[in-house]
Amino acid sequence: MKKKWIIGIVSSIMLANTIPLTQGIVHAEETLEELTKEKEEIENRSSDLDSVIVETEQEMSVLEAERQELERRIQDIQISIEELMVDLVEQSNRLELTYQEIEQLNEEIDHLNVLIEQRNEKLMTQARATQTQWNATNIIHMILSSDSITDLISRVGIISQLVSANRSVVEDQIRDQQAVIQAEAQVQVEREEVENLLTQMQATRDELTNQQNQLDNEIMYVAERYQMSAEEKETFVNEQFALAQQSMQLSSEIEAEEERIAEEARLAEEARLAEEARLAEEERLAEEARLAEIARQEELARAAEEEAAKKAEEERQLAMETSRRKENEERAQAEAAAAEEEAARAEAEQRREESRRAEARRQAEEQARREREAEKRAREERRKEEERKKEEEQSSGGSGSGNGSGSTPPPASNPSPAPSNPGLMHRPATGRVTSRFGMRRHPISGVYRMHNGIDIVGGGAISAADSGTVTTVSYNSGWGYYVRIDHGNGFETLYAHLQPNIVVSRGQRVSRGQTIGTMGTTGTSTGVHLHLELRKNGRLVDPAPYFGL
């Protein structure tokens, strides 16, 4: 088919190259309008032929699918027939076994009938003997003629045995008769079941054979239609070859344009992915640098503590040695020296702690200063951008390129201002600050590590620092009951160690100063206080400059 298509295209090209030359010689007087009309007719006919070819191919596809489906159904039916034949053989074997069981049941029935007949004769004999030889007078005479109580009991026992024996014979007779009835009923049921099964299997096999014949006829019908459709398609394709060149150029141009658009989209996607990868890498490097700085500060703190401990141990050993040499004379002096040493060490530790706090505050203030400068530059750039837009709108309005109404578009809505200087956010609780943002020794574990917020000791209600949306209301072992609020523009606050009676819920919109809960001591806490954290663009920052603390 592909080879015929190529031959048709080449023939069309040759025909198209020949027709204009001959028409230019013979029909030079034809007008451009007639040529255009002829071109439109050719394109319309080509479009009609395309539709016919597509419909024919679709019909062939449908017929092919029907043929394959019929073949699959035939295979399934053949498999079903084979399975039914196997089942038929098994049922025949079962029928043979059933016949054997029936024969055994018949033998048992005959045996039971013999026993029943023997018991009947025995009962008839006893009955005749009782009627001819025994009567109530004889039985009473036998009892009254007994010589002693023992003889009486013996004769009564014999009479009872005779009566019991007769009763047992009657019960056996009834039981065997019932067994015979049940065996005959079971034989009849099994015979009917087997005969019904054989009849049903024979009917199923006949039905499957009829279905297979019908499917064979349908396959032959579909094959004839498939061949006819293939011939029709070949005719339409041959007819379309003469009209192919007029559409080839347009198809090439469309394909080139689609490739150009796809290439531009691919380049844009690659640029976007590269930019996202670059931003992700920058964020990763910044996070690694921050973690490395924290680790370095912790390592320096541990080294300072170890050095102080080592020095204290050496001094203690020296004092102990001096105390041992001058145990009697210089004991008081050694104790005074130890007290002074302890005071000096406490003072040195206090100075180091104050130095660390001062450094942490300096870093927080420097970070706040940098953020304020960045926000100031951003506001200046927004102001310049708004002035530039206003100038452009004024110039466009003066030149008459607008809509003629002379009105300016309404200004775009500005987002709510982000906290960029101390005191802008609402203080969420009353009380004094007992622990600030930065490195500190944990009050419970004693480990020197980063404190990501500030602690306010006091009591009473806790209120929202600014308007926003509650994103989390939860509990964990560290923070206890806590609330997280998203204020927009990258700012987010967290309030920890609250009492369980929190009055807001996840997804709720809160306003500035609205009560959200009560200060408590849940979670890992040494007393009633509020642990307050502030995040800016996902990074923890010192809350103090933003709350004026």
Percent of all residues in the chain with a pLDDT value above 70, rounded to a whole number: 77
Q: Is 263 exposed, middle or buried (0-12, 13-18, 19+ CB in 10 A)?
A: exposed
Residue 532 has pLDDT above 60, yes or no: yes
Decide yes or no: CATH 2.60.120.620 for domain 431-547: no
What is the distance between the alpha carbons of residues 483 and 465, in angstroms, rounded to a whole number? 12
- Assigned token pair, 407: 């009105």
**Per-residue pLDDT at 418:** 40
- Assigned token pair, 272: 């976007």
| Helix 2-26, helix 245-325: angle, nearest 10 | 130
What is the distance between the alpha carbons of residues 54 and 498, in angstroms, rounded to a whole number? 72
Contact between residue 169 and residue 156 where contact means Cβ atoms under 8 Å apart: no
- Assigned token pair, 404: 């003629």
Using only C-alpha atoms, the chain has a radius of gyration, in whole angstroms, of 55
Residue 416 has pLDDT above 50, yes or no: no
- 403 falls in which pLDDT band (50, 70, 90)? very low
**Per-residue pLDDT at 509:** 96
**Per-residue pLDDT at 142:** 64
Selected residue with higher pLDDT from 339 and 176: 176
**Per-residue pLDDT at 162:** 66
Average confidence score pLDDT of the chain = 78
| Helix 149-241, helix 2-26: angle, nearest 10 | 30
Residue 224 has pLDDT above 80, yes or no: no
- 479 falls in which pLDDT band (50, 70, 90)? very high
The total of other beta-carbon atoms located within 10 Å of residue 461's CB is 14
Residue 170 has pLDDT above 70, yes or no: yes
Among 136-140, 167-171, 179-183, 201-205, the least confident range? 136-140
List, as one string, the DSSP characters of 123-162.
HHHHHHHHHHH--HHHHHHHHHT-SSHHHHHHHHHHHHHH
- 159 falls in which pLDDT band (50, 70, 90)? low
Contact between residue 469 and residue 507 where contact means Cβ atoms under 8 Å apart: yes
The full 3-state SS of 388-403, as one line of letters, equals HHHHHHHHHHHCCCCC
For the chain, give every domain's residue range. Answer: 2-86+229-254, 98-212, 431-547
- In this prediction, residues 127-147 reach a mean pLDDT of 61
The total of other beta-carbon atoms located within 10 Å of residue 529's CB is 24
| Residue type, position 356, single letter | R
Residue 163 has pLDDT above 70, yes or no: no
Q: What are phi and psi of 445, to 5 degrees?
A: -80, -20
* Of 463, 483, 464, nearest in space to 523 by CA: 483
Residue 133 has pLDDT above 70, yes or no: no
Contact between residue 426 and residue 461 where contact means Cβ atoms under 8 Å apart: no
pLDDT digit string (tens) for 334-364?
666 666 777 667 677 777 777 777 776 777 6
Selected residue with higher pLDDT from 61 and 375: 61
pLDDT digit string (tens) for 234-245?
776 777 677 767
- 400 falls in which pLDDT band (50, 70, 90)? very low
- In this prediction, residues 165-169 reach a mean pLDDT of 74
Contact between residue 72 and residue 215 where contact means Cβ atoms under 8 Å apart: no
- 15 falls in which pLDDT band (50, 70, 90)? low
